[in-house]
Structure 1
Amino acid sequence: MTIGGDIYQFGPFRLDPAAGILYRGAEPTMLGQRAVALLRRLLENAGVPVSKDALVEAGWGGLAVADNNLTVQIAALRRVLAEAADAESWIETLPRRGYRYVGPAVVTNVPDASAAARAASAPTLPDKPSVAVMPFSNLSGDPEQEYFADGMVDDIITGLARINWLFVIARNSTFTYKGRVVDMKQVGRELGVRYVLEGSVRKAGCNVRVTGQMIDASTGAHVWAERYDRSSDDIFALQDEIALSAVGGIAPSVRRAEIDRVKRKRPDSLDAYDLVLRAQLDVDSGMPEQVTRALVLLERAIELDPAYALAHGNAAMCHHCLFLRAGLREANRAASIRHARSAIVHGQDDAAALTLAGFSIGMDGHDRGAAFTALEAALAISPSSALTYILGSVILGWGGDAERAIEWSERGMRLSPFDPWAFAAFDAQAMSHLLRGRYDESCRAAYRSVQANPAHSITYVQLAAALAKLGRLEEAKAAAARVLELHPTFRYSRQFAGVNCAPALAAALGDALRTAGLPE
């Protein structure tokens, strides 16, 4: 006798007694439960006669049954074997004694058959990052709150599905796991996804706590985790708010995880998508040396796929950086606008591409109306796009629309508190508070900008101005020195002209930067 959990392999067949399934390869056969029990007893005693009484005990638990019941089940077993592999003769009849298995050698303790079947039939990973959002656990102790947990998941799936660089598994597939305890790596294999999001909802009165975590199913590593504590009388508004915040936090976290994954690939194996990911960190730096390096990868990506909108959008950002921080050359400004227009043409469904394009058109093309047409199109596609709000706040800030710039920057940071472009949101706040005469707030925002990206010259420009307005001249001069260290050719009048700075802001900033010792 073998242990109940053993799997039996013989010829092309695998028998999983615990599951009650006989597989031929990865495909389950239509063998019934009693026939499975009989087959197991025969396989346990391969090559040895098994009496009719022993088989009746296995199939019917010792109940008194007529001989023809056993005959019918053996016939069903032989029929399935014959249909699958012409193996009817593997079950030998021993007149008046019983039956004997005489087929190929039986191997036990092989891997679980059902797992093998699922693995064999599991879908392959798609080319782009793939996500499955599992049903959230209802920890409220109130079955009526299931609708809230399920609605939360529906909203998150919908929000993620709007991000065109993500492959998101439909609700109907992930909800088959509802109420089951499953391993996230197993879910990843079965659904063919790299990332799995799980979470829970605990609701008591008007107070709700939602927790979520995103796991890389290939490694088990955590990609993103967050907890939301909210109180609201409007449960549907609350559901929308949390879902929007979750999507806004998940997207950049997945992007970072994808960048880390691509870094581990060989350079000669990179396709257009991988090249854009590998360039992303240098694009996000916003400084000339890094973006020059990124452009090499982006140009290769565009050669491979000339209609790759995100590659064009990132290339536009690189040329924007070179224009402002490497000499204000017209060639870079023109290239920024050219790539931005290509991103819009090819990226009508890509919120990130439209956002980057809108930024370049607003900042380098000085067409803020066209810029916000692109940004609003991006938000229509993906309302949770933190980058759209952040870069939009920069355009608003330089345009002198201070209150709206602060509003957009705060919304972007609420959606993605640790976004790579956080420094830009704080810059928008710093210049906007300064324009309104709120110098303490401007200084706080500028310090946060420096903390978020200490290698970017513009963060120190904002800090130098705010410190000068507060009369802290020694600190202002130190910040100004850091600007020139990072950007030796910086001249604030040229910066203002490059971004089409609003006259009132140019006057306020210019006065402060002159005081800090920066050259005009």
Structure 2
Amino acid sequence: MAAKQNSGFRVICNSVLRKNLVNLKKYIAELKKRHVFKAGLAYLIGAWVLTEVSALVLDTFAVPPYVMKTILIVLVIGFPIWLIFSWVYDLTPEGIKKTHKSDPDTLKSPVINHRLNRTIIGLLSIAVVLLVVNQLRISTNNSENKAGNRTPDEIATAEKPIELIAVLPFFNSKSDPETDYLGFAMADQIIGGLVYLQNMVVRPSASIRQYEHQRIDPKTVGEELQVDYILIGNYLKEDNVIRLNVELIHVHSNEIIWRKPLQVDFQSAFELQDIVAKEVIAGMNVQFTQKELSRIRKNIPHDPLAYEYFLRSISYTYTNEGDQLAIKMLEKSIELDSTYAPAYYHLGDRLHRNAIYGSPNSEEALRSENALLKALSLNSEHMGALGNLAMRYTETDRIMEAVELTKQILEINPNSAEAHFSLGYIYRYTGMNDEAIHEMEKAIALDSKNRVFRTIIITYLFAGEYEKAIEAGRLFEESAFIFEIQGLALFKLGKNTEAVEYFNRVIKLDPDTGEATVSSSTKAFIEGNPEEALSYAIQFEQFQIADAEAWYFKSFLYGMQGDKEGCIRCLRKAVDSGFFNYPLMSTDSYLDPAREDPEFQKVLQKAKEKHLAFKERFF
């Protein structure tokens, strides 16, 4: 009985299925008879053609984007309406008539079929033409983008390979403490002018200071600095005249490209920057634009004594004592001449260094920022001031402003190593660690001897590449900062004995600095003195460092000691002040003692939100 019921059910199902298939075939046949498929295809091709034509026309006349959006919306809405229309109506020689299914004579005729075919073929032909035109337009735009809408001499400039040059401190032919400062100061000023040339990378002043007051072998020094050309010379100041003998030497061939004697009144010493820059450009056959050359000439001092104070300030070394002496000289210079942008830039730079590495306090950090802003008000394209201010903004939760300043530098000189490093610095603060390493390594590839670039070792440390942090530190001159980060990298690797050795070097070199305090705290922790370690952490928190990243190090020290409250307090300050390296914060095991605390999670969530917002905007 059940078998009969199942058999009957299958018969009914098969019958219904066959009936549905028959109906579907009839429906499809009806669609074909009414040419709905062809009408739909014609509509889609026509809509695409209309879209392409609209894009070309609207782009030409700079019509607002919402017009194009409106056209697209209308075309999308019109498609189903067109399909219904083609089903219900027929376009005949007598006009539009309603099609009746029951009347075969009223079905669309072969004439209509031919019309649709011709329409489709015509639209396809237009589509092919538009595709060709659009491809040519894209190709043209790509060519224009490569040229960057530049003038012919700028385009020619881009085709010239980048040359590397070092301007060494000039040797005083008649050594005198009253005039020895000129050797380094004049070289620094020439370097400051050459940085505006896109097809030349000039080693920074910090890289060439080690050759001050020395007679050198150009080929040896050129190989040490990894450059193609060396500019060397000697000078003599007698009465109110500076006599300068300059040589441009090609390192690889050891050939003297040119040798020239120059003479200027001491009151016009600033003219040497422009004179020597022109000779270097000609001797190296570097192509340049008039705009680049005009940037070199922008900074002209108006008081000879003020300029002398300025040159003396430049000659002081980058040490805590040197920074203090330089600040005093620059303040004297500005008192006499308040219109010279480089004086404000160097004052801002020295104050910033003193606020970070010397006796940290927020007042000097603010003075530094104001000096840099003043420099830019006098010369909006001063690359040193732009870069230094970008760094300052990065450290104080003004990331977007920092990015804009860095972009401005790259517009002035796309091959600026400082600008690429500045981008890397910004990326480190925002948690884009891989991108930070990429930009910083690009900067070092352009200028491997720039002392400022040594902070790449922090980037390696934060990215968990501890061996690289240690190795990269060896590329730069030994300092308390280098030893501190190398020690922390060794500590992270579990090499505590070696880490303590590095921390001892820091404490011996600069016992009263932030680096020494961090080193002392970590060393005490390793040696099993938690109370001493915590006291140093508390001491480090008292340092008034206007740098968000420093607060992360403070949080790290408290977390290492298991002080949840201190760890969370300092981490919150770091995030609120602009350091939101979320990947680092979410994986640093030394923050684990506070990690489960709800307040810690709130801070971490805020860092994550800021990190993702930055990533979404710029990547």
- Pairwise same-fold verdict (TM > 0.5): no
Rg larger in 1 or in 2? 2
TM-score (norm 1): 0.45
- More helix per residue: 1 or 2? 2
TM-score (norm 2): 0.38
- More strand per residue: 1 or 2? 1
